[in-house]
Structure 1
């Protein structure tokens, strides 16, 4: 999970580019997935372990946000992250 911190600067520079490469997109997806997994782990932990986990999660938040921004601007379509909204008129 500490890899997330190392990716912050790399992804910050890449997020400014509208033409992200496949490798950059793949790296961003891994960053997002690792952050989400860490968030799940933190939710399941207790006591001092939980506090330490949330400190690590807090430190990884910037990398996560940069990665999400890169994915949002890369115009990729990932069916795993699709959010469906339904409107029903009664």
Structure 2
């Protein structure tokens, strides 16, 4: 019984750590609830019906998709006009 409770508690804490960058700090009763909440808040269809064993993998895919989008949105380098505007705005500091 004690090992089961410890395993559930560990799973809950792991889910909270994995999902915190996506939804912030939350208080839930189970890891499954944390994962489902994360997926639901990000508009993933079927988040409430998918098997519980798939939830951590779905959250991992969501995180990697968001990271890829963030990398795509990031400019490689400033061109000369952008650099001049930046220097002018911040006084060349």
TM-score by length of 1: 0.29
Higher-Rg member (1/2) = 2
Higher relative contact order (Cα pairs below 8 Å, separated by 6+ residues)? 1
TM-score by length of 2: 0.28
